[in-house]
Amino acid sequence: MVKLWRCEICGDPYIGESAPDNCPFCGVKKKYIKEAKLAKVNFDVALSEKDQANAEHALEVEISNAAFYICAAAKTDDAEGKLLFKNLGKVEAEHASVWKKILKLDTVSKGNDSCHISNKENLEDSHSRETRAIEFYKKAAAEAQNDRVKEIFTAFVEVETDHLHLSEERLK
């Protein structure tokens, strides 16, 4: 039987017989995907000064990474790389959307990060970007004073770690 599912991190709905292993929009693990009627999704959270600063920095990171991946998808010299970077660009843009909602912003800037033609160089850049994001998100999760903010940072650490493994596998 087809059901309506909802990701508790990004809030996006999914229709299927079962919950997907990862959210098709933000990439979080299955544990964050619930039947829509049971999902608890909240973007209206009180932010401490530290949580506000970390969320603002996270938004900048995600905008930058999304722009890089969109550029790489268009320019890289490898067919599979184009697909990988296209998907990563969409996921990072969705992460930016989550932070936009948490920060209660109407609009956000589009990044304009450059990329390379060489797939290997794009993978190396991806590896560096994901490593930095993971380190920051772990720190931000540990510092989080709001449980919802902590949950988002923790979930995104897992997603960015998956992204890191994708670049590591392809760099071998």
Give start-end residues of each CATH 2.20.28.10 domain in the chain: 3-35
Q: What angle do CA 156, 161, 164 make, to 5 degrees?
A: 130
**Segment 41-48 mean pLDDT:** 97
Give domain 3-35's CATH number out of 3.40.50.280, 3.30.70.1450, 2.20.28.10, 3.80.30.20.
2.20.28.10
pLDDT, one tens digit per residue, over 123-151 is: 999 999 999 999 999 999 999 999 999 99
Class of domain 49-171: mainly alpha
Q: What does the pLDDT read at residue 160?
A: 98
Summarised one tens digit per residue, pLDDT across range 75-127 is 999 999 999 999 999 999 999 999 999 999 999 998 999 999 999 999 999 99
Q: Where in the chain is the domain with CATH 1.20.1260.10?
A: 49-171
DSSP 32-98: GEEETTT----------HHHHHHHHHHHHHHHHHHHHHHHHHHH-S-HHHHHHHHHHHHHHHHHHHH
